[in-house]
Structures are given as C-alpha cells and as structure tokens.
C-alpha cells in the first residue's frame, strides 16, 4: 500500500510560479510517478510523468513551462510550474505506479488573470 501526501498548491497570478511536492509513504519508490490534473467540467488529464531513472514526459500544454523532478532518497516528486496561465487552474493529483496505481488527495491550483 502506498500513501501520497501532496503540498504546494495555492492561488497565484498569471505569469507566476508554484512548486508542488508529493511524498510517497509505504513504498520502495521504484515506480513511475507523476501529476494529473482536473479542471472544473473537464476530464482528468496527465500533466507530467517521471520514471525512477529520471526519464520525463509532459503534456503538450505544459512543455517548456513545467518541470517534473524526483528525489529518490526522500521518496518525493516535484512539479515546478512557471509562467502559469488561467487555464492551468485545476486540482492537481500526484500519482504512483504505471496504472497509475495510487492517487493523492489532490491540491488546488488557481491562476488568476
């Protein structure tokens, strides 16, 4: 069983930055991890994924603005979000495993125009 604890969401103006963190408890931290998001009235979508070795994959809408990274020693994955846009407003979920198999509780990110 894996428990994911997220932090770092909040309210920011367009053009600003936020960093999300997610720590995994109860695992060896060997699986891929990443972030999904769900905006009001929209389907949940993948934002960024990272393997244990550091290979990354991004949604086209965030390429060049968001950076995913992980610290295996701390069992933590990060999402640095720069040049935020109002359309980035959503609940962001940390995920673990290829399924993904586990989901965090979600953290709200709101970008004002």
Question: Do residues 89 and 109 lie in contact, with contact meaning Cβ atoms separated by under 8 Å?
Answer: yes
| Residues 22-48, mean pLDDT to the nearest whole number | 91
Cα gap 86→60, rounded to integer Å? 16
Of residues 73 and 86, more confidence is placed in 86
- The pLDDT tens digits for 9-27 are 999 999 999 999 999 998 6
How many residues appear in the chain? 113
Predicted pLDDT of residue 99: 82
């Amino acid at each position: 069983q894996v428990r994911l604890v997220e932090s770092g969401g909040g309210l920011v103006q367009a053009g600003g930055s936020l960093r999300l963190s997610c720590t995994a408890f109860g695992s060896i931290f060997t699986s891929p991890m990443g972030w999904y998001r769900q905006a009001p009235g929209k389907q949940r979508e993948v934002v960024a994924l990272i393997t244990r070795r550091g290979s990354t994959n991004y949604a086209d809408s965030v390429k060049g603005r968001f950076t995913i990274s992980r610290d295996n020693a701390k069992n933590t994955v990060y999402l640095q979000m720069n040049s935020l846009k109002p359309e980035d407003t959503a609940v962001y979920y940390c995920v673990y495993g290829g399924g993904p198999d586990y989901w965090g509780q979600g953290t709200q990110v709101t970008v004002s125009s």
